[in-house]
Amino acid sequence: MKLDMKMAQLVNRMKYMTLSTVDQNGNPWVTPLFYVFDDQYNFYWYSRRVADHSKNISHNSAAAVSIYDQNMSEDNAGGLYLKGVASEVEESDLDRVIGIYVVRSYPGETEIRNEFVTMTNDFKKESPLRFYRFTPKAAWTLGKSELWNNKWLDFSEEIKIVP
């Protein structure tokens, strides 16, 4: 996925996204998560396997994500809204994803990065933790807002997903 400069800066600046999943009975669940991302804007995080969102992902990969800056003024708000699929990161891809995670999470902190990289077993087999991936399939951003009767009307604009 390619993002315009404003949205790329938003994703780079923010540290948390809101993930929405659905359980087996169709009940929605939403949770804030610390994230990192790769060059294609796949988003990664780790969570407990028994967390509600993790259990939901194991039964239904459909998910949605919102990333926004809550400190922006109403007339200059920005946000990124994504629909896509979420899944547990396969063990064969774990080293690569952990590499992305430590570089983005601990820039310049070599000691912490080196220690974290050696902990791949913390995300395998019987461990309570897993890494997860969200891959966007559709994206929107907040478009130009209009003032109507002293109230802001927001419009979303679709962003083309380019593989």
> Span 5-159: which CATH code?
2.30.110.10
Closest listed residue to residue 55, CA positions, set 108, 104, 128, 120? 128
Which pLDDT value is given to residue 141?
A: 85
**Which of 59, 66, 124, 128 lies closest to 87, judged by CA?**
59
Residue 86 CA, chain-centre distance (Å), reads 9
Tell me phi and psi for residue 41, to 5 degrees.
Answer: 60, 40
pLDDT at 1: 67
pLDDT at 74: 58
> Please, what is the Cα angle at 79 between 150 and 44, to 5 degrees?
160
Write down the pLDDT at residue 92.
94
Tens digit of each residue's pLDDT (9 = 90 or more) over 98-151: 989 988 888 877 777 777 766 888 999 999 999 999 999 998 887 777 889 988
Does 85 or 161 have the greater pLDDT score? 85
Q: pLDDT digits over 61-74, tens only?
A: 999 999 987 776 55
What is the H or E stretch that residue 127 is in?
A: none
**Other C-beta atoms lying within 10 Å of the C-beta of residue 35:** 21
d(CA 98, CA 115): 11
In angstroms, rounded to a whole number, what is the distance separating the alpha carbons of residues 40 and 122?
A: 26
Q: Does residue 40 surpass a pLDDT of 60? A: yes
